[in-house]
Amino acid sequence: MTPVSEVRPPLIEVRDLHFQYEDGTQALDGVNFTLYPGETVALLGANGSGKTTFVLQLNGVLRGQGSITVCGLPLNKETLPRIRSKIGMVFQDSDEQLFMPSVLDDVAFGPLNQGVPEEEAIAKAKLALRQAGLADVWNKAPYHLSAGEKRRVALAGVLAMEPEILILDEPTTFLDPPAERNLLQLLADLPQAKLIVTHNVRLAASLASRAVFFEKGKLVATGSVDEIARRFEWTYADLPPADLRYSAHRRF
Amino acid sequence: MHHVLLDRWSQGASPLHRRDARAKILALLVFLVVLATTPPNAVAVLATYAALLAAAILIAQLPLGLLMTRAMVVLPFSLTFALISWLAGEPLRALALVEKSYLSTVAVLLLAGVTPLPLLLGGLERLGSPQLLVLVAQFLYRYLFVLSEQAQHMRLAAACRNGGAGHRRASRFRSATGALAVLFARSYERAEGIHRAMLARGFSGRFSLLHAQRFRAGDGAFLLLVSAFLILVRLG
């Protein structure tokens, strides 16, 4: 039986995407990818395999060769503002995302760029902060927040734009276990389709319905998180502690 | 001046804190103009300005001694120029230079201490300051903390590997310049990251700050009163 999501038009469709950095590094090499409504897809792969480069292509922050369609709109200069309203991206380093002097200013940044009037932007920002469980920090400066709070404010910053797709780059980096747990719960409750760039298989397994694996700029496999993790040995779970000690000795 | 301290001061609820940022910025501007045009020998007038600033600090419920001490940060610079004037045979001008630069710094700290930065920037923008200037001030304020933290981490990492200890001055200087270069490169990388994050949220070159305050009659009265008093003192 065809999954319900696949009878609906895809939210993101990428065909034959290539990208080379200025230093000549071939970061993406013929990537094909489709994201359907309601899906959460984990992007797995080694450091430097092209995962982050790939997601930066989806909202036109980086531009390669190939075709990208988001919510039926082909990605080009004219459609870029609308596509950026549809895709909310949470970056790995929250300090880079929280650049405004107060939390409220920061969360309202996106809606104001969408042309929303100031009063409405404030209302949307406060609603997004409530959604992220941080209603009481709106007048704080970002540097007064903990790592977990910063990550939630960064998420609120994109939720305020009411995107149809969320992209999260290593969402649990620097978070302690309780903060990670809270964030996972929050993400699980959000209705948007999600793309999650991560090394954390536990996170991927708990949120994603599907995983894809990147290797040297190519998308080499797609399947369930469990399948992909086993196939590429993308887990520490199978390795007994003795083996870990042995590999550490061997490495040094 | 550690900006966290200013940030804490600016969260107060005194009558000065409640005034619209634009009224306070314009009052500061008037103060700086009358101060700059006050003759060097008008000691009583300069003393009245100092008394006015002290009164404003007390009304704002800020720590008078601490703020006055922090304002001394300007003295090494102004004393250098004062020394030149002194040696040129103009001791009165030298004294006025120190007094005026110190009082200006106290006034600027007072403004920053009674106005949260977002409101200050919003006020500057609404008064027609170039947006680029406002943006630079905003980013400087926001990332000064992040960069200083990064510099501290680098210093700690160097210390853990015995960096600096027992080395000759030339060697320490070489390490410091290297660290500075790395810090610059990291800042550049961070700037790129910030720009990407801005683009991802629809930034198209025009910055919008929220303006929570409204210019009320009380703000106008405050501005008029302060300006009139300062001009009277200056002309009297």
Q: What total number of domains does chain B contain?
A: 2
**What are the φ and ψ backbone dihedral angles of A143, each rounded to 5 degrees?**
-75, -5
Output the CA torsion B120→B125→B129→B135 (10° steps): 80
pLDDT of residue A2 exceeding 50:
no
CB pairs under 8 A between A and B: 83
Per-residue pLDDT, A93 = 87
Q: How far apart are CA A59 and CA A76, in angstroms?
A: 10
| B199 in contact with chain A, both atoms CB, cutoff 8 A | yes
Are the CB atoms for B17 and B10 separated by under 8 Å? Answer: yes
Condensed to tens digits (0 to 9), the pLDDT of residues A197-215 reads: 998 888 899 999 999 999 9
**Minimal Cβ distance to B190: which of A84, A96, A161:** A96
Residue A45: per-residue pLDDT: 93
* Same domain, yes or no: B139 and B164: yes
Residue A108 to residue B210, Cβ atoms within 8 A: yes
> Does A218 have pLDDT greater than 80?
yes
Give the residue-averaged pLDDT of A1-12: 68
Q: Which two tokens stand for residue A181?
A: 């747990």
Query: Residue A249: is its pLDDT beyond 70?
Result: no
Query: Which pLDDT tens digit goes with each residue over B165-204?
Result: 556 777 777 777 888 888 888 888 888 888 888 888 888 7
pLDDT for B152 equals 80
Pair (B23, B120) in one structural domain = yes
Q: Please state, in angstroms and rounded to a whole number, the distance separating the CA atoms of residues A159 and A127.
A: 9
Q: Which of A37-51, A209-223, B138-152 has the lowest mean pLDDT?
A: B138-152
For B197, the closest of A81, A99, A113 (CB atoms) is A99
Of the pLDDT bands very low, low, confident and very high (cuts 50, 70, 90), residue B144 is confident
**Residue whose pair of structure tokens reads 């005194």 in the numeric block:** B14
> β-pairing, A210-215 with A40-45?
parallel
Q: How confident is the model at residue A247 (pLDDT cuts 50, 70, 90)?
A: very low
Decide if A119 is inside a domain: no
The confidence band for A96, taking pLDDT boundaries of 50, 70 and 90, is: confident
Same domain (yes/no): B154, B117: no
Residues of B in contact with A56 (CB under 8 A): 196
Mean pLDDT of B208-221: 81
Selected residue of A113, A114, A158, A170 to mutate for chain B interface (largest B Cβ count, 10 A): A113
Q: What is the pLDDT of residue B212?
A: 61
Give the per-residue pLDDT at B198.
86
Give yes or no for residue B206 having a pLDDT over 90: no
Domain that holds residue A181: 4-95+163-251
Closest residue on chain B to A79 (Cα): B202
Q: What is the pLDDT of residues B103-114, one digit of tens each?
A: 999 999 999 999
Residues B111 and B220 in one domain: yes
Is the pLDDT reported for residue A244 higher than 80? no
Q: Say whether A114 and B202 touch across the interface (CB within 8 A).
A: yes
Residue A211 lies in a domain: yes
Cβ contacts (< 8 Å) between A83 and chain B: which residues?
none
* In a domain? residue B82: yes
Distances (CA, A) of B122 to B8, B104, B194, B198: 19, 22, 21, 19
Domain count, chain A: 1
The verdict on residue B89 lying in a domain is yes
Are B108 and B173 part of one and the same domain? no
Average model confidence (pLDDT) across chain A: 86
Q: Quick one: average pLDDT of B7-11?
A: 85
Confidence of residue A115 (pLDDT cuts 50, 70, 90): confident
Give the strand pairing for A73-74 and A65-70: antiparallel
* Same-domain status, B113 and B60: yes
B99 lies in the same domain as B181: no
What is the span of the domain harbouring residue B14? 3-126+213-235
pLDDT of residue B163: 66
Is A242's pLDDT higher than 50? no
By three-state DSSP, how is residue A172 classified? coil
Query: Does residue B226 share a domain with residue B189?
Result: no
Sheet (strand A40-45) strand order: A87-90, A165-169, A193-197, A40-45, A210-215, A218-223
- The pair phi, psi for residue B152, each rounded to 5°, is -65, -40
Residue A248, pLDDT above cutoff 50: no
pLDDT score, position A12:
96
Residue A145 has pLDDT above 80, yes or no: yes
Provide the token pair at A246: 């042995």
User: If interface means Cβ-Cβ distance under 8 Å, which residues of chain A face chain B?
Assistant: 56, 59-61, 81, 84-85, 87, 89, 91, 93, 95-97, 99-102, 104-105, 108-110, 112-114, 118, 121-122, 141-143, 157-158, 161
- Please tell me whether residues B166 and B223 are part of one structural domain: no
In-domain check, residue A174: yes
Check if B141 contacts A (Cβ < 8 Å): yes
Point out the least confidently predicted range of A109-113, A127-131, B136-140: B136-140
Which residue out of A58, A90, A91, A105 would a mutagenesis test of the B interface target, given it has the greatest number of B Cβ atoms within 10 Å?
A105
Residue whose entry in the numeric block shows the structure tokens 């106005």: B115
Q: Which among A91, A121, A141 has CB closest to B193? A: A91
Question: Is the pLDDT confidence value at B47 over 70?
Answer: yes
| Dihedral (CA of A155, A156, A161, A165) sign | positive
Q: Is residue A152 part of a domain?
A: no
Grade residue A148 by pLDDT with cuts at 50, 70 and 90: confident
A101 vs B142, B196, B208: nearest CB: B142
Note whether residue A82 is domain-resident: yes
Q: Is residue B164 part of a domain?
A: yes
Is it the case that residue A101 has pLDDT exceeding 80? no
Q: Is residue A146 part of a domain?
A: no
Query: Cα–Cα distance between B109 and A130 in angstroms, integer?
Result: 35
Asked if residue B190 is part of any domain, the answer here is yes
Is the interface score ipTM higher than 0.95?
Answer: no
B142/A121 touch (CB, cutoff 8 Å), yes or no: no
**Whether B195 and B217 share a structural domain:** no
Residue A130 lies in a domain: no
pLDDT digits (tens, 9 = 90+) for B162-172: 665 556 777 77
- Check whether residue B122 and residue B136 sit in a common domain: no
B206 located within any domain: no
What would the mean pLDDT of B12-32 be, rounded to a whole number? 95
Residue in the structure block whose two tokens are 């086993």: A230
Q: Note the pLDDT of residue A212.
A: 96
CATH of the domain at A240: 3.40.50.300
- Which of B199, B201, B203, B209 to mutate against chain A (most A CBs within 10 Å)? B201
Do B122 and B13 lie in one domain? The reply is: yes
